[in-house]
A and B are shown apart, each in its own frame.
Chain A
Amino acid sequence: MSGRETVLASIRRGLGRGPLGDAARRALDERQGATDSAPLLPKLPKGPLQQVFRAGLEKVSGTMSEVAKLDEVPGAVAGYLAGHGLGPEAAVAPSLESLDWSGAGIQASFGPTRGGDYAGVSLAWRGVAENGSLVLLSGPENPTSLNFLPDHHIVVLHGKDLVAHLEPVWGALRERGEKGWPRTVNVITGPSRTADIELTIQLGAHGPRSLHVLLVD
């Protein structure tokens, strides 16, 4: 018997039944999840989504600034880098390659990083107001390494991509059809942290020490 069959048989023994019939399995497949009811979505604080998002982000030590148009992103990044005493270099996601980086005085490299970059710039697929979280999808346009290796992570988020809860994100992923789930969906809520030494919270454990959101709206 294969490992699979052994484990499944043992589970069925535990459950005190044989394999489920086709009809039963179909019924399970047709359910939307484990409970019949729609997910219970926590009520969000009153106010516009942007405000709720910002509050969530700031609660976890993230920061945010706004720009009116996507074109203004390189300038805003340049300002951020200068403000943090960093050189005008950044590892930028290919999804943002078409912007005028050199015009803003930034030496940008496009593609994944192997470390050694102080700043990484990525594009979020969604922002979630509930906890001030960012949802990033991996792919050639948005390499995952940019989210974790640089010390400073700057994430561009379009105002129209803000949703209230995580649940609609899953619905939208399903609607991508064929493409479905990318290799990685990163839900990022604040900069990296640890409390492993004497339960003292320290930012920048292995991942970015700071997380900045540029909201384009």
Chain B
Amino acid sequence: MSATGSETTTDRPIEHPRVGLFVTCLADIYRPNVGLAAVALLEKVGCSVEVPQTQTCCGQPSYNNGDLAGAARTARNTIEAFEDFDYVVVPSGSCAGMLHDYPRLFESEPGWQQRARAMAGKTHELISFLTDVRGLDAVDASFARAVTYHDSCHGLRALGIKEQPRRLLASVGGLELRELNDSEICCGFGGTFCVKYPEISGRMVADKADAIAATGAKVVLGGDLGCLLNIAGRLGREGGGVSVYHVAEVLAGMADVPGLGDPPGSGGRSR
């Protein structure tokens, strides 16, 4: 274990921290490009990135469906895989928020709770880690498109992520950000909610798609793949030619692949 506890990491910036990338199950399966973009961005800010092979899921499906014991089992796996790093970085506000909640799962297991707390203390969502911990305020990328941005709820409310992605996007060459009306309103994903209450969820994402259309932007960005899959699914169904990317892909200059749910071979937009 590295000598740095969770306290020191926030006090004194480490020059070349060892960062464990928790890629999230959705990025792993659906969008490896997000993981690669995260690695690229982290390396730019002087981190040495490692990807523990034993990581799986953050445990939200169990946690949010009332199976706390199941969530704890998944959590133990994550803690064992990540507790030795200087930082744990997650390209998702939702999953990062889950890792912050781990201590709650171990109310009756003080040992594990201690470990969970220590890890939570050094866990960050990717974009806010880049800006708030590593002091990044500009990136070296270009993306000559009008884009709009959806603030995913967990990142926004649990972690206070709002201005950070906008700050970095402002430095992307050629990019024009058109603010989304109701950008802080939930897209209707909500994990298993979207399949348990599809009609309600469908209405919410349809509203989101309307708001997106009203901006006239043909690209939507966000920081959470769950929401983005939902939004891309709706936009794909509507067929309006709007592409969806994780914000990290654009910031890393790696949005040169098709957007989420776009036909293979249709990308190549960033230069």
A and B touching (C-beta < 8 Å)? no
